[in-house]
Amino acid sequence: MAKKKNKTAKGKNQNNTSSGSTTSKDVKSQNSHRKGEPEPPKSKGNESCQEQQEVRNDNEVVTITENTVKLECSNEVEKLRKNSSEPSNNTNIAERNQNKEQVLNKKGTIDKIYNWRTVQDTDVSRENTRVSNEDSADDAWGGFKDKKNQWDTKEKSTSSKIENWREKNENDECGKEFDVWEKQSRKEVNFNIVKEIEGDLFQQPADNSLAHCVAADLRMGSGIAVGFKQQFKNLDTLLDQRVKQGGVAILPDEKNKRYIYYLVTKRESTGKPTYNSLWKSLWKMREHIVSNQVKKLALPRIGCGLDRLEWDIVKNMLEYLFKDGSTEITVCNFQEMEATADSQSAPKKQMKTCRLMRENYHLTAIAEGTAIMYLTTEKGDPDEIMKDLDAKFNFLSKARVQYSSKRLGECIIVEDKQYVFFGCIVRKTNKEPISFESLKKCIQAFNKKNRSYGNDCFYYVGFQEIKDTESYQDIQINEKVITLLTNTLRDVDVYFCTGIKDRKY
């Protein structure tokens, strides 16, 4: 670069004979134009070169043009000063006026360039501010959503911890009280609280709350439980409480302002309770009675019919738990008399239930002429059962178009030549527990639809056993679904398939 600059300076010395030799200071002065600001144009050829530079970035072009115009203006002003010192004549005056007009025009150009740049800078600044504000708002909203999710997760975790602590605390108190009762039960007890009578439990005054024992699947297929199921119904409401063994399901009777207690003393209807599980259920019922100031309670000899517990021990439990005397306990010992020809009592209405058939094959192997029922979500998220059925019958493409307008408790119906596929929307997502209230509505809708077929109605309903009980958060989901199917369906047989299909998809 240094050699190139010296060459240029040497050429200038040869061309400029009138000014004499050029000093090193003059060379530095000329080079300073290249370092600091652009060299002023010397001819029209230089101006054309400047116009070609406008291909570059807008900011660079504007800067070069502005500096150039400023330099030209300063040169013109210097010329005017020199001319003003010379003797004036008409020609000089005209030239000065012309030069002055050119200077003013160039000054106007500078003002326009400055104003344009100011507007551009303002627009750019405003746009940057807007984008920055939008980014800040997005970041703030994203941060808020993340924070809210953390709060929700923390709240759920806290609620779960509180619930677990409460359950553990209750179990500890219940267990301690059971130990105290067990020691005292060996002594002789005076029964002053429990009053036994001969009579029908359901004929007791309407202000008496009622209680009896059930299993967690709420099958209630025998004994006095059948009467409770017939009279108070609402199986779906009870199932949605998801009470485990050792708990109590509660059904409010708004009409009579009382409560119906379902003591869950065993897991399955085919099982048997223990004194410990019965105690837990009675203890939790006692807590509810005290909290809601229940004054009267009528019940049968709980746990001592088909469940085979000893009445003296169970009665001792009741005597201990309600020893404060704030609740009147009545036990009904009802022995149904055999019907005679003179009896004026009308025969009891029989409960219509469906016949349950358990089969060890997969639902895809069910015979033609069967209504296939399955559980689904509002979005139609396919589970393994739906995938297996679709691999065999290819029905999901027709089903998906219906999901957009369906909600909990509604059905997805796809009719085929030999089958009908009945999807029951019982969950919002695959991670939620089943809504038994929604399932009951779907089953009732099936009954109505099946009747509309007339002579072509279906007499068989197929249902596949749910293997993934964890997604339903209920290990007894299958038995509970069977309870609702057999007690709500009408005039059909239920084929409950438990087999496994070899998946090739």
SS3 for 210-262, per residue?
EEEEEECCCCCCCCCHHHHHHHHCCHHHHHCCCCCCCEEEEEEECCCCEEEEE
Q: Which two tokens stand for residue 75?
A: 């040169």
Strands 419-427 and 493-497: unpaired
Residue 266 is a catalytic residue: yes
If phi over 0 gives left and psi between -120 and 50 gives alpha, with beta otherwise, what is residue 233?
left
Cα–Cα distances in Å, from 387 out to 74, 435, 465? 86, 22, 14
Angle (CA) 116-122-125 rounded to 5° is 140
Residue 307 is a catalytic residue: yes
Q: Of 313, 262, 312, 315, which Cα lies nearest the Cα of 285? A: 262
Q: Of 344, 353, 336, 349, which Cα lies nearest the Cα of 231? A: 349
64: CB partners within 8 A, 6+ apart: 38, 50, 53
Q: Out of 217, 236, 240, 307, pick the active-site residue.
A: 307
197: CB partners within 8 A, 6+ apart: 330, 331, 332, 333
Q: Out of 229, 266, 440, 480, pick the active-site residue.
A: 266
Cα–Cα distances in Å, from 355 out to 30, 430, 486, 487? 110, 30, 7, 10
Distance, C-alpha 65 to centroid of its chain: 62
Residues acting as catalytic residues: 266, 307
